[in-house]
Chains A and B, each alone.
Chain A
Amino acid sequence: MLLLNRKKAQYYTIDFIVASIIILGVLSLVYSQYYISYEQDQAIYLSNLGNRCLNVLAESGKLSQTVYNEDWETLSKLIDLTLPSNVYFSFYVYKWENGNWVQIAGPLGENMPSSGEIVKTTYILSGNYTDPSPRKIELYLWE
C-alpha cells in the first residue's frame, strides 16, 4: 500500500513538473510575441510623431528659420509644443561640410535616458540664403 502511494506521489510530481514546464513555455512564448509587437507599435508611434513634428515645422518654414539662425531655444519650444506632453525629446544638428556631416549643436532638449526605447527621426534642410550648406536635424523621442 505504501509502495503504491509512493509511486502515485512520484507520478504526480512528474506530472506537475511537466505541466509547469509546458505552462512556462507557453506563457514565455505568448509574452515574448506580445512584448515585441508592443515595442514595435510604440516605436512606430514615436517615429510617426517625430516625422510629423519635423514635417509641420519644415512646412511652416520655422525649422529652416530656427536652424539657420541657430536659435536652439525657440526650436526646442516649437518641438515641445508640437509633441504630446508625455513624449520627451532631444536633438542634434549637423552641417554638411566637405562631404561630411559635422555636429554643430546637441544634445539639446531633455537628457536622454540610458535605457528604454528611444526612436530617432531625421530631416535634411536644403539651405538658406545666408548659408547654402545643408543642415540635418536628428530628433530622438521617448516616453
Chain B
Amino acid sequence: MLTVKKKAQFYTMAVAIIAIALITTSIIIVGIRNSVQNVEISEDIYFVFDNIKRETLERIELVLANLTQMNKTGVTFDYLEITRSYLDLWISCLKNEYESRGFKISLNYDPSQISYFTYWNKSISMSALKIIISIQIENEDVKIKQTVNATHVFKLYINKIERIGSTISVEVNFTKIVGNSNETSIDYAVVYVNGTRANYVGGGVYRTELVSLGPGSITIYVAASAPSGTFVEACSTQ
C-alpha cells in the first residue's frame, strides 16, 4: 500500500517537473523572441556608395540643365558661383544623412577645375560642365574612395532635312552624355520639331515628318527636354 502511495508521489512529481520545464521553455522562447525584435543589420556600403555616386552625377546634370536654361534665356550669371552653391548644399545634405547613419563621408571638389562651356550654332546646341569630384565613404570594415570626372554634355542638332513630295522628313540628334563613363542617356528626352513630337528611332536619333506647305524656304525649330529640365533648342532654315 505504501509502495503504491510512493509511486503515485513519484509520478506526480515527474509530471510537475515536466510542466515546470515546459513553462520555463516557453518563457525562455518568448524572452528570446522579444529580445531579438530589433535585429541590427549593417547597411550595404556598396549600395550606399552607388547611390551617392549616381545622385551626385544627377546633381551635376541638374546644375548643367540650369546653366543651359539661363544661357538660353540670356540671363547674366556666374556659373562658378551657381555650381558651387548647388554642390555645397548637396554635400551638406549627404554628410548630415550618412554621418547620422554611422558612416564617415567626404565629398570634395576643386573649384578651380570646374569648367562650363557652350557652343550655340544655328543648328547645333551644345553645353558641357566638367567637375572633378572625390567621393569617399567608410564604415568600420570597408572604405571606398573614387575620384569621378563628371563631365556632362547636352548636345542637340538637326541631322537631316529632306523634302520628299509633300512631306519634309526631319532627323534630329539629341544626346546627354553623363559622367566619366561616356554613358549616353537618351531614353527620357522629349524632342519637338516645329511643335510636333518626334519619334525616337534609336541611337539618340529622333525623326518626324512635317507637311510641306509648298515651295520656298522653311524654318525647322527643334526643342528637347529631359526630366532634369534640359531645354535645348536649335533651328535651321531650308
Chain B residue nearest to A25 (CB atoms) is B28
How far, in angstroms, from A134 to B95 measured CA to CA in the complex? 13
Complex contact B32–A9 (CB within 8 A): no
Q: Mark A77-95, 1 if CB is under 8 A from B, else 0.
A: 0000000000000000000
Contacts A36-B36, A127-B59, A132-B62 given; does A5 touch B17 at CB 8 Å: no
Interface class of chain A by DSSP: helix
Interface size class of A (residues with CB under 8 A): 35 or more
B138 adjacent to chain A (CB < 8 Å): no
Pairwise interchain contact A128-B229, C-beta atoms closer than 8 A: yes
Is there a chain A Cβ closer than 8 Å to B93's Cβ?
yes
The answer to whether A128 touches B62 (Cβ under 8 A) is yes
Q: What's the A-B contact tally at a CB cutoff of 8 Å?
A: 116
Q: Determine the chain B residues whose CB is within 8 A of the CB of A28 once the complex forms.
A: 25, 28-29, 32
* Beta-carbon nearest neighbor of A100 in chain B: B96
Known: A17-B17, A39-B39, A129-B62. A124 touches B10 (CB 8 A): no
| B contact residues, total (Cβ < 8 Å) | 48
A2 to B5, CA, bound (A): 13
Contacts A43-B41, A117-B37; A124 near B94 (Cβ below 8 A): yes
Kindly provide the distance from the CB of A42 to the nearest chain B CB, expressed in whole angstroms.
Answer: 8
User: Which residue in B25, B58, B86 is a CB contact (below 8 Å) of A24?
Assistant: B25
| Contact yes or no, B33 A35, CB < 8 A | yes
Q: Mark B145-169, 1 if CB is under 8 A from A, else 0.
A: 0000000000000000000000000
In the complex, the answer to whether A40 meets B39 with C-beta atoms within 8 Å is: yes
Quick check: is B106 within 8 A (CB to CB) of the other chain? no
Residues of A within 8 A of B17 (CB): 16-17, 20
- In the complex, the chain A residue whose C-beta lies closest to that of B24 is A24
Contact of B33 with A61 in the complex, beta carbons under 8 Å: no
Q: Tell me which residues across on chain A come within 8 A of B228, comparing CB atoms.
A: 128-129
Contact yes or no, A16 B62, CB < 8 A: no
| Complex: A40 Cα to B36 Cα, angstroms | 9
A74 at the interface (CB under 8 A from B): no
Interface string of A104-140 (1 = CB under 8 A from B): 0000000000011101001111111110111010000
Minimum distance in angstroms from A28 CB to a CB of chain B: 5
B227 touches A2 (CB 8 A): no
A136 cross-chain contacts in B, Cβ below 8 A: 97
Which residues of the partner chain B approach A133 to less than 8 Å between Cβ atoms? 89
* A51-B47, A126-B62 known; A24+B21 contact, CB < 8 A: yes
Q: A126 to B24, alpha carbons, bound, how many Å?
A: 54
Nearest CB of B to A52, in Å = 9
B131 located at the interface, meaning its Cβ lies under 8 Å from any Cβ of chain A in the complex:
no
Query: How far in angstroms is the closest Cβ of chain A from B3?
Result: 7
Q: Which of B66, B97, B188 contacts A124 (CB 8 A)?
A: B97
Contact B86–A132 (Cβ < 8 Å):
yes
Decide: A35 and B227 in contact? CB cutoff 8 A. Answer: no
Q: Are B36 and A6 in contact (CB under 8 A)?
A: no
| 5 chain-A/chain-B pairs, Cβ below 8 angstroms | A36-B32, A39-B36, A48-B44, A126-B55, A127-B86
